[in-house]
Structure 1
C-alpha cells in the first residue's frame, strides 16, 4: 500500500536500490521532517517489492519516465550509464536530480543545459569527500592548483576498467602501488565506480582537466582515504578523510549519509554550510 501523501512534503524518488539507495530509503522511512519516500525505480521490481514491504510506508515502483509524476527530487544510485535516462525526465519537468554517478556528468553536460532551460537542478552531494564548501568559496577567487590523492584497499579497486585495459594486477601486491596519475576526466572513465569524488572536487574547483589526481592501491589499508590540497589567493588548505567502506567496498558508509544530509537541508528551517 502506498504511503499517505503530505502535500507539503518534498517527495523523494530513488533510482537504484543498492547499498546507498537502501540506506537512504531507510533513513527517509524512519522519519525526516518534510521528506516523503514517494517512488523508486529498479531493475528487479519483484525483489524491490519484497524489500520495500518491510518499510513503514511503501513507495511506488515506477519507470524512469514516470518518476517526475511522483517525485520532486530523485537520488541516482544506479550504474553510471543510466544517469541520462534517470536525469533527463526529471530535469525536463523542472525537478531536482541528486547524482551519485558524478563522473558520468562529464560525458553528459547537456543535462546541465536541460536543467537550465526547464528550471531543474542537478545537486551534487559531497559524498565521500570533505571541504567542498571551502573549495567552492576559493573558486570565487583564483585557485592556483588543486590536487587529490586517493588511497584505497585493494578490494575497492578490483575490476576497474583502467586496470583491466592496462593489464595492471593488484590482487597480490604487498606494498602501496600508484596505479593512476592524471585528471578526474580520465579517472571517471577508468574508475567509474571509485572516483566520483574527484569529479565532484573538480566541478567545485578548477575543472576536470586542471585538477591533478593520483590513485594508490594499498594492501595495508582498511579505509578509503582521500587527501585534497588546494592553493588559492584566499586560502591554502589540506584535508584528509578516511572513509569506512560500506557493504560495497567501492563505496564509503558516509556517501549515503551525505545524501541524507543534503535532503534534510532542502527543507530544514536552519541550514549550515554554503
Structure 2
C-alpha cells in the first residue's frame, strides 16, 4: 500500500478532526508529517497529539510555511482561511504539493482561480475542493454542463455568527432579517470566512457572479442552514443541509483524502 505524506495549515478544531480520524486509522494511506498555524502553540498541540499516539511517526510543528515546504509533503490540507489559502496556494503547487482546501472563497477571484489552475497544470499538482458544510457538487456540476440553469443560495445563521461584520447590530438578536442579498463574489468579499460554501456551489455550477445569494439572520438560531436550488429546463434540484456546528467541514476533508486514494470514489 502506497503511503502519501501530508501537512496541515491551520490547527484549529477542524484540523483536530482530521488528525483524530488519521490516528483512528481512517486515513491509512496518509502520514501526517507537519503542521503550521499562526499560533505556534496550536501547531505544537497537534504535533504532541501525534507523538502520544501509537502510530510510530513524528509530526513536526512548524513556525513558518517555509518549514512546511521543506518537508515536501505530497498534500497540504488547508483549514485556515481564504487569506491563508491565497498566501500558500501558488508556492505549494510550485513545490510539488497538491492541496485540499476548505477556503474555497479565495477562488471567487477569477484571476486568482486562473493562476491556481495554470500553476497546478504546469507542476503536475492538483487542488481538491472539500465540500465543507454542503453537498451536491456532482448534481450542480452535471446540470450546469447539461444545459443553461439558474442557481440560488439561501442561508440562515444565528446573529452571533455575524458579529464583527458590517451587517451586525443588536436588533438582530430579536428580529429575523435578511442581512445580505447579492452574488457569491460580493458575499465572500463582505464575509471572507463565513460563506465559502456559497462560492463552492457557484464554482460547481454557474460561477460566483451568477449565483444569487441571500443571507438571513434568525434570533436564537444555532448552526447554519444552507439551501441551494438549481433550475434548468429539465431539472429542478434542491439541496438543503442543516449543520449544528462545523464538524461536517472537517469530516469532508477526511472524505476527500480517502477519495484521492480510493479505487472507488464517491
Is 1:266 the counterpart of 2:260 in the alignment?
yes
Bigger share in helix: 2
Q: Which residue of 2 aligns with 1:64?
A: 65
- Structure 2 residue ranges without an equivalent (≥5): none
Partners of 1:50 and 1:205 lie apart in 2 by 39
Residue of structure 2 in register with 1:49 after alignment:
44
Between 196-205 and 170-179, the greater mean CA deviation after superposition: 170-179
CA–CA separation in structure 2 for the residues paired with 1:155 and 1:207: 29
Describe the superposition over 1:179-219 as per-residue Cα deviations: whole angstroms up to 9, x where unpaired: 00001101111111110000000000000001100000111
CA shift for structure 1 position 232? 2.0
Any idea what the Cα deviations from partners look like across 1:30-72, whole Å, max 9, x if unmatched?
2222111121112233442244213224312233234343311
Q: Which runs of 5+ in 1 are unaligned?
A: 1-5, 246-251
TM, length-normalised to structure 1: 0.86
Partner of 1:249: none
Tell me, in whole angstroms, the C-alpha distance in 2 between the residues paired with 1:171 and 1:74.
42
Q: TM-score, normalised by structure 2?
A: 0.89
Taking the aligned partners of 1:95 and 1:47, their CA distance within structure 2 comes to 23
Correspondence for 2:31: 36
> Which deviates the most, 56-65 or 80-89?
56-65
Give the equivalent residue in structure 1 for 2:240: 240
More displaced 10-residue stretch of structure 1: 204-213 or 119-128: 119-128
Post-superposition offset of 1:171: 5.7
Alpha-carbon distance between aligned partners in 2 of 1:133 and 1:60, rounded to the nearest angstrom: 36
Contact 1:182 1:212 in 2 (8 A): yes
Q: How does 1:188-207 map to 2 (within 5 A)?
A: 188-207=188-207
**Hey, what's the Cα distance between the residues in 1 that align with 2:171 and 2:127?**
37
Pick which of 41-50 and 10-19 moved more: 41-50
- 1:234 positional shift: 4.4
Q: Name the CA distance, whole Å, in 2 between partners of 1:233 and 1:239.
A: 18
Note the 1:70-219 alignment, pairs <5 A.
Answer: 70-107=72-109, 108-109=112-113, 110-160=115-165, 162-163=166-167, 168-170=168-170, 172-219=172-219
RMSD, aligned CA: 1.9
